[in-house]
Structure 1
Amino acid sequence: MRRDVPRYALAVALIAVALLPAALGPLFAGPAGPRSVSFASGAGHWLGTDFSGRDVWRQVLLGGRSVVLVALAATVLAYLVAVPLGLTAALTHRAWLEDALMRPLDVLIAVPSLLLVLLVAATLTPGPAGLAALVGLAAVPDAARIVHAAAAETASRPAVEALRMQGESWWRTAFGYVARSMRRTLAADAGIRLTGALYLVATAAFLGIGVEPDAADWAVMVDRNRTGLFLQPWAVVVPALLIAALSTGTNLLFDAALRRPRRPKGKEAVDGSGR
């Protein structure tokens, strides 16, 4: 456990660096001041100004909430749909029902998530809530396959059959035993899923989906200010680093939580001898 303390500390620090500005930034952003020269440095602006002369520091404080909340909401939505779907397919004894639930997902997996978002956005104009729903539903096929594969292995154990013979409800068998048994797999997948959601939300924002073209949004800041990267890099580097910090910190946290404690050598020797 002690060996994991630095890993936990680094993960929490990275997550805090991204979440604190996202959660508390709007409280300290203050009113918008007069616009200055585009891509200017100094002149009362800590991080300079962006492509339209707005203060970069204020845009950073205001721009995290949309990216973080949409990505988190999309990840939660994906699992709210994928977990019951995968568990139902894994625990059913009806092959036709399993095929009916899982085979359509195989077709959706073949469609790139970004293409799916673009196709829907071409006919609708999603806001932040709509973008979260789109990104979450786009992640359902992959997440459901992971849940189904992990649950199918657990469902074949004698303990599950014993629970059925005892008359336990499907809900208690599925969520009380099977879902709990695969929580490590779900936790490992959640870190990857959140990273994918952040990437897809940021990419959609680059394309103007779900946010206004000049919105205070970290992803929009990276896209709109990249033309002046060498003139005023902070407008691109700071929001990009904050997105990367949240993604890296989340995966480090899950990785540290999933690490099994190592047994002392003496204990391994006793166990290995069968005593």
Structure 2
Amino acid sequence: MLGVPALVALVGPALAGPVRSVAGPLEPPGAEFPLGTDVLGRDVLALALSGGTSIVVLAGLSLLLSYLVGVPLALLVTSRHNRWADGFLLRVMDFVLALPGLLVLLVLAATGWRGVATLVVAIAVLQLPAVVRIVRSAALAPGCRAAVEAMMMQGEPWWRIHLGYVGRAVLGPVLVDAGNRLSLVLYLLASANFLGLGLAPSASDWAVLVERNKEALFLQPLTVLVPAALLVALCMGTNLLLDQSLARRNGAATA
């Protein structure tokens, strides 16, 4: 399930035809256009082949940035056992968590903060509170183990204890959360692109196609179902792969 959308995103743009308007809007599938056309008269097959690269790259960058910031931050606060710093961090995260994602994107679009970089940073910040809370909760028990105390008594550096030992202990929950969070990131990307915050509403991005053609679902369903199926396969395939990897890791650790 992951291989199909990944392969389409990788080699699809080289195989896709023109993504400009080439016919009338919402034409049914036929010999010339196997999947029909969308609301702008573009070939749905060409759009599906060319629209995966942007969504995979943007979603991957957003998730990577949120975890690159959130994981070390949560481990740092947890390891110091500083109640004041821990409480301050959680209150800041609570404030960000209370902000509706779509409202933040609307404000950014209205104030002129547009572009791919802005979109990636905004979505990463919106995911940061949940990432910090999950990592902090997962790190509390491993951080109190006798092994951590022994490493501290032996003079091991902080980064080796908490980023190495405790970081490996929280890897499982982080991977599970990343797989589940992918669907939320895809939703925010589609909404932001449709608002003009990142990609243009006429882009061939899979998420943008679903948002752009949703009103034509019953007139030309393939304009929505094809990119939606690729997105669903991407999410489910990623989660299944992570679950299988974690099962193998746990099995190896048990053995």
**Which TM-score applies when normalising by structure 1?**
0.85
- In structure 2, the CA distance between the partners of 1:38 and 1:125, relative to structure 1 (3 Å rule), is same
Q: Secondary structure at the match of 1:102?
A: helix
What residue number does 1:27 align with? Answer: 14
User: Do the aligned residues in 2 keep the contact of 1:67 with 1:219 (CA within 8 Å)?
Assistant: yes
CA drift at 1:34: 6.5
1:138 and 2:136 are equivalent in the alignment: no
What residue number does 2:186 align with? Answer: 198
Q: Which runs of 5+ in 1 are unaligned?
A: 1-13, 268-275
**CA–CA distance in structure 2, aligned partners of residues 54 and 249 of structure 1:** 28
1:79 and 2:67 are equivalent in the alignment: yes
Q: Where do residues 15-54 of structure 1 align in structure 2 (5 Å cutoff)?
A: 15-31=2-18, 35-41=22-28, 42-54=30-42
User: Do the aligned residues in 2 keep the contact of 1:66 with 1:128 (CA within 8 Å)?
Assistant: no
CA drift at 1:36: 1.0
**CA–CA distance in structure 1, aligned partners of residues 80 and 241 of structure 2:** 34
User: Do the aligned residues in 2 keep the contact of 1:73 with 1:132 (CA within 8 Å)?
Assistant: yes
Q: Secondary structure at the match of 2:2?
A: helix
**CA–CA distance in structure 2, aligned partners of residues 170 and 196 of structure 1:** 34
What residue number does 1:188 align with? Answer: 176
**CA–CA distance in structure 1, aligned partners of residues 31 and 195 of structure 2:** 31
- In structure 2, the CA distance between the partners of 1:62 and 1:169, relative to structure 1 (3 Å rule), is same
1:214 and 2:206 are equivalent in the alignment: no
User: Do the aligned residues in 2 keep the contact of 1:86 with 1:148 (CA within 8 Å)?
Assistant: yes
TM-superposition CA deviations, 1:222-252 (whole Å, max 9, x none): 1222232222211111001111111111111
Question: Identity of counterpart residues, as a percentage?
Answer: 45
Aligned length: 250
**CA–CA distance in structure 1, aligned partners of residues 155 and 97 of structure 2:** 36
Q: Where do residues 216-231 of structure 1 align in structure 2 (5 Å cutoff)?
A: 216-231=204-219
What residue number does 2:163 align with? Answer: 175
**Which TM-score applies when normalising by structure 2?**
0.91
Q: Which runs of 5+ in 2 are unaligned?
A: none
Q: Secondary structure at the match of 2:75?
A: helix
Structural RMSD (CA):
2.0
